[in-house]
Amino acid sequence: MTHSLHRRGTAESLSEDYIVLCLPAIDFNDKGHDPKLLEFLRIALRHSPVNIGAISLGNMYSHKTEEVVKAAHGIVHAVFVKKEQVIDTLKELEKANLGMSVVVSGIFENVDECLKKSGLKHHTANFSLGIWGRTEKLPDNNILEVTTMCGHAMVSANLVKAMVEDIKAKRKTADEAAKVLAPQCACGIFNPARAAKLLAAMAK
C-alpha cells in the first residue's frame, strides 16, 4: 500500500509523474537504516527530481534540500517527470545495493518499462480501486488532479482554487503557484512541475 496510488489525470499528464519511495521493513532491516535512506536521496538528486522529501521533516520546498537529506528517516521520496530519470535512478540503486525496499509509482505500463530497462522485475504490484462512498461531495476532477498528488490530503482544494485565481489575475505565474502548493505535502510526493501545467490549464 502506498499513498501515491490515487493520483488522477489523463494518461498524458500522468506519464510525467513518477514517485520513488525508499523505506525499511520494521523489525527486519530497520536498524541503522538512516544512512541508507540518505544515500537513496543522494542518488535520486543526481537524476534531477522535481521534489524530494523525508517523512521525518518535509520536502525541498519547505526546507533546504541538504536539510531534507540529512533528516532521512523512516520513509523518503523522490519525484521525477521522465522515464529516463527513473531508469537511471533504479540502475544506480541496484549497484548501491542498499538493502531497502523501493517502490515505484506511476502508470503501470510505464513503470514496467522502467523496471525492464533497469534489469529489474516486479516483486509486488498494487493498484488503486478508486474512490468509494459519497463521491458527489468531492471537488471537481480538475481540482482532484492536483490535490491527489498529496496522498495525505494536505493540499487544500480551496488553496488550489485560490492559486488558479492568482494566475488568472496575473498575481502569480503557474510555476509560482505550484510552489505555494508544494510545501503543504509534507512527505514530498507532490509534483510541482505537473501541478504548474494543471493550474495553467485551469486558469485558461
Domain boundaries, the chain: 11-117, 136-203
- In a 10 Å sphere around its CB, with 0-12 CB exposed, 13-18 middle and 19+ buried, how is residue 140 labelled? exposed
Structure-block grid coordinates of residue 150? 498529496
**pLDDT tens digits, 4-61:** 999 999 999 999 999 999 999 988 998 999 999 999 999 999 999 999 999 999 999 9
pTM: predicted TM-score of the whole model, two decimal places = 0.95
CATH architecture of the domain with residue range 11-117? 2-Layer Sandwich (3.30)
β-pair partners for 59 = 53
pLDDT at position 2 is 73
Indicate the residue type of 129: L
